[in-house]
Chains A and B, each alone.
Chain A
Amino acid sequence: MRFELKSITRLVNAGALALAAAVATIPAQAVEDRPAVDRETLVVAVEKEFQNLDALVTASGDSLRFGWQIYDTLYGFDLDGNLVPRLATDLQISEDATEFTYTLREGVKFHNGDVLTSADVKASVEHILDPASRSTRRPYFAPILDSVETPDEHTVVFRLKQPDGAFANKIAGYLYIVPGDYLKSLASPEAFAQAPVSLGPYQIKHFAPGGGELVLERFDDYWGEKPEIKTLIFKVIVEPVSRVNAILRGEVDVAVVLPFADYARLQKEEGLEVIKSPVASPLYVRVYTTDESSPLAKREVRQALSHALDTRSIVDSVLHGVGEPLGTFISRHYPYGSDPDLEPYAYDPARARELLRQAGYPNGFSTTLNVQGDMPRDLPEAVAAYWEQVGVKVKINRLTYAAFSRLNNTHASGPLALSQFTNAIYDPIHPVGGAFARDGSWSDYYNEQVESLLAEVNAKADRESRDRLFRAIGQELHDDAAAFFLSEFYYVFARKDSVKWDVQRGSGFLNFRNAGWH
């Protein structure tokens, strides 16, 4: 077999380049601004499969997509993250923050017709605590919950083993209410995931095997304001480029978690509204400061490395402008607890080198930065490049998410780990406690002042105290350069112009209760 291919190679190359040129020069069509299905339906493209529809068991990362559509909690969060009554009409907190009493609303119906009583709340808690459920929420409740009492059908009293000022937030963020009788009727706790029943504004109509699609239908006996959209279709499109393409082609009405790189050009698309919304979850480099042998144990070294980073440039280029430099660990977008005037360290490489010299490292030093696969690709390299400028050599160690989780959980991801800590309960205690308390699960940091402030804030349930105390914590974390704060983390959403939808601010929760068509 012989090919007479004198010009084949040339043709192939010419062909590829021509294709590329054609691809680059033909202008894109504007987005068709009409419903993908009809005006009673909203099609939303999400970025990850749905794993387990039991919101009491599955991880936050999974449930934050469907949780607020199908389920409801005793108190919930409004669009800005303030606690508002939902299934409960009243909440009384004891002075010492160990007793939380909720009064339930009357006449609330579950999807299966059952009526809400305090027994259902107790059953929901038991579902979380039952080891056979394998619930990921168990660690939030088991250590502190002493008992759940139901003195009458409309009263629930939570008694805690120790004060927890953020408990009301945990109830609002984690305790979805499910019918107790239905739970009891199931063969095993796992069976709930196959046919979940709750009392949110939507019920499940169809769940594709493998979690690739979730179709929800409006629940007409919902106790609260019924949503405008009758059918909510979640389509899973994992590949970011494909998700962008889907909204550009009008195949979906809303697309979530779009790549930062596409933000600028999507803004120019007619027919599309692009929203960047902060999720109150900082992108930061976690530092193992408790290792005395490491240069990073010294405050001056950490301050030096903070001065060496030009976070404004990093946000503008690597994050394509989708982000905000931040001065401390507590995001500005919490409803309370952050000081909006706290500035990050100024970009000052000269000062950085000076501080390093003072700390005893005139020639810098070498270190390792652990990164997991989900992070923006170029971010660690940009950080390493800035530190290299002041003499600190960084080896970037890329790990799979599984490996990274394990190392983080077992405190083996030092000395530096690029991390992000999501907000699930609209109170800074969750990330701050986890990342900077002495016994925080992702903490290798110890600061006496922070520790005592944390002890104080745990005992206070009122908003003003928590605000004051967290501001103080934030200031100390900044002054001590406890970690390297790179940017606020944002989500990029896109919706067709005629879609009415207010994004939930300051968290990753998807909230479609207010969605509709103009």
Chain B
Amino acid sequence: MSGFVLRRLLSATVTLLLMSLLIFVLVRLVGDPAHLMMPPEATEADRELFRQHMGLNDPLLTQYGRFISGMLQGEFGNSFHFGVPALQIVSDRLLPSLVLTFSALALAVLVGVGLGVIAAITRAQSVRQLVALFSALGQAAPPFFFALLFIRYFSVELGWLPTGGYGSWQHLLLPMTALGWYSAAGLARLTQANLEEVLASEFIRMARIKGLPESVVILRHGLKNAALPVLTFAASQFGILIGGAVAVEAVFSWPGFGSLMVEAINQLDFTVVQAAVVVSTLLFILINLAVEVLYALIDPRISHE
């Protein structure tokens, strides 16, 4: 087991280093922040002065060395625009994103798995159709489209919930639903499919023959086997939700991580972009690792490649 974890940690480190190199190069290709930071009246000399003070005129290798050694100490330099440490800005925006992501995931798991289980075990065709409608709708529309409709209807027309911002559970409800619906839909179908398959399998028939009560059959044996793909799915959603909920964050003015990355790129704030990508990659890796460990623990039959 520990060998497995060690090997995974090693690959994770490699991924992280590769990613840091990639973003270091890419962000410098996008443009020159001196043009953005200085007003139009600035001369090239003024811009040179700026670049010098930001360390942007040093050879690339030096800059990269500085970046890596800083990264290992948790130091990413100061944001070009805000003047405060880049890591601080990133972590400040991380919390709202984590709140949103976990809530959306929780909603997705509860609603998705719940509906999936119901749809798998029910005999009522209408229930299956309703769940199918829910899933189909959720997966067909982009989350930002829902976001616009939700705000228009629930905030402005009915006045039940705030139109955006961050602060209370009321602020969380709409964005969480807009994001979570998509995942819930996928989870519902996944759960339903897996559970149906498991329930029809030899394995379950054995349990029933043994005389175990139906609920035990479903809960203990059925769900346990259906749990693994659900876990993988949830983990994959996490990484995507953190960085990918940009449009939803924009529409709801949610001070999250995705919109931070977009703004930082727009403003060519190198240090913040680097810090943001490294942090999100790290998180992503850790979550994946946790899932793989759980996976291996739950099902020792998995062969480790």
B157 at the A/B interface (Cβ < 8 Å)? yes
Q: A210-B89, A246-B163 are in contact. Are A22 and B153 (CB under 8 A)?
A: yes
Indicate which residue in A19, A190, A249 contacts B162 across the interface (CB closer than 8 Å): A249
Bound-state CA distance A29–B250 (Å) is 25
A251 at the A/B interface (Cβ < 8 Å)? yes
Of the candidate stretches A101-109, A274-282, A395-403, the one touching chain B is A395-403
Residue pair B136, A405 in contact (C-beta under 8 Å): no
Residue pair A190, B83 in contact (C-beta under 8 Å): yes
Q: A residues within 8 A CB of B151?
A: 241-242, 245
A206 CB, nearest partner CB in chain B, Å: 13
Interface string of A379-419 (1 = CB under 8 A from B): 00000000000000000000011110110111000000000
Indicate which residue in B31, B50, B92, B196 contacts A403 across the interface (CB closer than 8 Å): B31
- The residue in chain A whose Cβ has the minimal distance to the Cβ of B148 is A241
- The residue in chain B whose Cβ has the minimal distance to the Cβ of A211 is B82
A187 at the A/B interface (Cβ < 8 Å)? no
Indicate which residue in B78, B88, B128, B156 contacts A209 across the interface (CB closer than 8 Å): B88
Residue pair B148, A442 in contact (C-beta under 8 Å): no
Most buried by A among B46, B132, B164, B267: B164
Sorting the interface of chain A by its residue count into under 10, 10 to 19, 20 to 34 or 35 or more gives 35 or more
Q: B residues within 8 A CB of A26?
A: 157
Most buried by A among B39, B49, B165, B255: B39
Bound-state CA distance A241–B89 (Å) is 26
Q: B residues within 8 A CB of A51?
A: 81-82
Bound-state CA distance A246–B159 (Å) is 11
Give residues 224-280 of A contacting B (CB, 8 Å).
Answer: 235-239, 241-242, 245-246, 248-249, 251
B70 CB, nearest partner CB in chain A, Å: 17
Indicate which residue in A134, A241, A245 contacts B50 across the interface (CB closer than 8 Å): A134
- The residue in chain B whose Cβ has the minimal distance to the Cβ of A7 is B129
Residue pair B263, A245 in contact (C-beta under 8 Å): no
Q: A residues within 8 A CB of B35?
A: 402, 405-406, 409-410
Sorting the interface of chain B by its residue count into under 10, 10 to 19, 20 to 34 or 35 or more gives 35 or more
Residue pair A54, B164 in contact (C-beta under 8 Å): no
B149 at the A/B interface (Cβ < 8 Å)? yes
Bound-state CA distance A406–B252 (Å) is 31
Bound-state CA distance A442–B260 (Å) is 30
Residue pair B128, A245 in contact (C-beta under 8 Å): no
Most buried by B among A29, A49, A210, A246: A210
A186 at the A/B interface (Cβ < 8 Å)? no
- The residue in chain B whose Cβ has the minimal distance to the Cβ of A209 is B92
Q: A residues within 8 A CB of B252?
A: 239, 242
Give residues 159-195 of B contacting A (CB, 8 Å).
Answer: 159, 162-166, 189, 192-193
A residues whose Cβ falls under 8 Å from a Cβ of B? 1, 3-5, 8, 11-12, 15-16, 19-20, 22-23, 26, 28-29, 49, 51-52, 54, 57, 59-60, 131-132, 134, 136-140, 142, 190, 193-194, 208-212, 235-239, 241-242, 245-246, 248-249, 251, 400-403, 405-406, 408-410, 434, 441-442
